[in-house]
Chains A and B, each alone.
Chain A
């Protein structure tokens, strides 16, 4: 019974990793760059949600779309201002650029007087609700994480499968040049992908905020989303969520069964094993460069 409990909280945590990893994968598929700022975007999302609730006095359910919208705008602007001019440069330059964006985001938040250095609680209406299912106690915050992740995944699936924009994004991610020739506005799509990734990160931040707290360094959890993305296969959207859940469960079980300390590095051990055994991940496509 206790294991079930641990596994469930692992799944909830894993969903957060999965959502952040989803952002990586979206951006990676569209622009072949890896964004190390994804965790910071999540942090900014949590802060903007907090701003909506605490200072603008919006009700909780309204502040979620508001924060998502604000973050989408920010993501779009980031792409337009900083990422687009350097596209086509070596991939590593862009990685460094996103690290720089992360530094700036963290620095700016820390600089806000009185708030930046504090650890803030995020008020949600369902905070202390608890469900008891057959002896397993499920916190409402965790249940909401799992349900919201499932809903968001379904929504993204529908968008990519049926909408014009989604299909165009798929085309651009498979072959940018060919998509360009077909009249797809690839550059505008890239901006939209960044906006989408930032909005997904905002959701992750808003879901994580009631579980942990809101603070400037919460973005470091983004570093655990890399293993999630790799385990799932870096180019695969469902893989990101599955990878996240796997990482979350492994981490929770490692914390439960293994001696102290293994919990923090379980994700990294899993990813190293994965890279040695199956470098393309569970759902990744096999890649080989042709000369």
Chain B
């Protein structure tokens, strides 16, 4: 059991709470940096996808996990970022600039979507973002002069001042740098007053408002940050796949992203990455397990949807804090061994809170 003695106010907002964290995250970073030499090409590509989805997941986590606003059309921002990057890369813009433009454009779109968010709440917001997602998808499919329509478009390799980014390893490096930077940015944001305002809005809008938090400003800001991160993720996604078409940014992608944050664990930065790992590895695990199942189950095309659905149901019912919540329990068990009590993480039974007029 580790006891942290606080001798300084800065300790409350320090990124690393104690030496153990420095060690373990340092080890993780060292592994990720060394990964191109350590793991096979195939797995390196999978790690790249985890990093990309991790960035997008971070964005949705800021919005859904920390501000409590749910976007059911987040794939639209991903699409805006991906198409911006694809168009700019074709024009030969340097990668950092086109990435920034992709993020900026996504953020602008996010601000526009955030506007109805100021008036509507809960499920209405979900439907507004869902509708928006459909409109963007259709727009991408119809604006053929720029996006190539349903036929999709090819994406040129990122132009990074002459560095080779077309190889697997090279692009992995780019993704790693972008991911680490965005993660640090999000962590920094969340420990600042802005992040605390987000959490306050999530926990109770009314009390946040009475504490002097400008709801409209912070909600729009949250939408913009979230959309910008999705745009960054989308830009990386476009380069990784080298081919994008509108149906990659449809409702199923949006639901996958929601799946990512819910299974990862709402309200934790770790959750975004754990969820990304889940989202990327599950299809692999299913295809590995297929051979051991009877043919009429293993070869059926609906298996993946079934597994996703069952896992999602199981998480919502038994582990609402997601994979990160499960890890917290395991960690506490290890730290307290053998004194862990069953009721330590008991969910509080809450009365059904009603938004309706009483």
Q: A residues bordering B, Cβ < 8 Å?
A: 28, 32, 34, 82, 85-89, 91-97, 99-111, 113, 116-117, 174-177, 216, 220, 223, 226-227, 230, 234-235, 261, 264-265, 267-269, 271-272, 275-276, 279, 285-291
Contacts and interface: CB of A to CB of B under 8 A. Distances in A.
Given A101-B313, A109-B302, A32 B355 contact: yes
Nearest to A92: B70
A82 B317 contact: yes
Tell me the interface secondary structure of chain A in the complex. Answer: helix
Contacts of B44: none
A226 B123 CA distance: 10
B351 interface: yes
B268 to A, nearest CB: 15
Contacts of B282: none
A80 to B, nearest CB: 13
B89 interface: no
A275 to B, nearest CB: 5
A104 B313 CA distance: 9
A110 B306 CA distance: 9
Interface in B251-272: 251, 255, 258-259, 262
A287 to B, nearest CB: 5
B151 to A, nearest CB: 15
Contacts of B3: none
Contact of A113 (B126, B300, B309): B300
A289 B128 CA distance: 21
A113 B299 CA distance: 10
Contacts of A106: 302, 305, 309
Given A100-B313, A103-B309, A275-B128, A234 B123 contact: yes
Contact of A111 (B70, B135, B258, B303): B303
A267 B300 CA distance: 34
Given A227-B131, A264-B138, A287-B357, A34 B123 contact: yes
Nearest to B126: A95
Given A88-B349, A113-B296, A216 B123 contact: no
B206 interface: yes
A90 to B, nearest CB: 8
Contacts of A286: 357
Nearest to B258: A96
B302 A216 contact: yes
Contact of B317 (A97, A261, A268): A97
B350 interface: yes
Nearest to A100: B312
Contacts of A227: 127, 131
A228 to B, nearest CB: 11
A111 B310 CA distance: 15
A104 B131 contact: no
Contacts of A99: 255, 258-259, 309, 312
A209 to B, nearest CB: 20
A109 B262 CA distance: 25
Nearest to A291: B206
A219 B70 CA distance: 22
B308 interface: yes
B266 to A, nearest CB: 8
Nearest to B115: A276
Nearest to B127: A226
Interface in B29-65: 64
A264 B134 contact: yes
B133 to A, nearest CB: 9
Contact of A230 (B127, B308, B353, B358): B127
B355 A265 contact: no
A95 B123 contact: yes
